[in-house]
Amino acid sequence: MFKTLMISAAVSALMVSGALAQADKPADSAKFIASQSTDQWVFSKFKGTDVLGPDNAHIGNVNDMLFDKQGKILGLIVGVGGFLGIGEKNVAIDMSAFQPVPASTGSSSSGTATRSDDPTMVKLKVSWTKDQLKNAPDFQYYKPPSRTSGGGAPTTGMGPRPTAPTAPPAGR
């Protein structure tokens, strides 16, 4: 009898653990992407990508990406001009303005060798020259309004300090 009870408990435990293991799997596997294909890019490799002008001359690098709350990529922020980031101007460019070209196209700012057999290694080409992008509007990152009190001075959360009581006049 005890042996039957132990076997029943063991079988029950296995069934419950199987059900729990199945419960850990995602219900909607369509939300997950298993791997990158040859026509997709990841931003970690995309940041710093050379941007070329119409004559295939280097005009800047991808510094950042702008996307909305739904995840749609609105544009890329390209650093134009300057030297080693000093004096560089950020210009946000709509995604539709970029044309991917092979990494072997044009001159390279990095001087590193590129692999021609990797389709995810690309450069981006635009129809503007470097001078035209230098004259384009400077992209401004969002800055939340600063917190100030009604008096215009920042508050520390502490009220005024109490003053020491004054002594009564002498002779009273």
What tens digit of pLDDT does each residue of 45-93 get?
Answer: 888 999 999 999 999 999 999 999 998 999 999 999 877 767 889 999 9
Full set of structural domains in the chain with CATH:
48-134 (2.30.30.240)
- Nearest Cα residue to 53 out of 82, 31, 78: 78
Q: What is the distance between the terminal CA atoms of the chain, rounded to a whole angstrom?
A: 102
Q: Are 76 and 65 in contact (CB under 8 A)?
A: yes
Q: Provide the pLDDT confidence category of residue 96 given band limits of 50, 70 and 90.
A: very high
- Greater model confidence, 93 or 114: 93
pTM of the model: 0.61
Helix (H) or strand (E) holding 6: helix 2-23
Angle at 45 between CA 43 and CA 46, to 5 degrees: 55
Pairing of strands 50-52, 122-125: parallel
Q: Provide the pLDDT confidence category of residue 140 given band limits of 50, 70 and 90.
A: very high
Q: Provide the pLDDT confidence category of residue 26 given band limits of 50, 70 and 90.
A: low
Residue 22 reports pLDDT greater than 60: no
Strand order across the beta sheet in which 99-102 lies: 89-94, 73-80, 58-67, 50-52, 122-125, 99-102
- Greater model confidence, 124 or 41: 124
Q: Are 24 and 31 in contact (CB under 8 A)?
A: no
Would you state the pLDDT for residue 165? 65
Tell me the two tokens of residue 47. 């940041």
Q: Provide the pLDDT confidence category of residue 127 given band limits of 50, 70 and 90.
A: very high
Would you state the pLDDT for residue 42? 83
Q: Which residues neighbour 32 within 8 Å (Cβ) at sequence distance 6 or greater?
A: 26
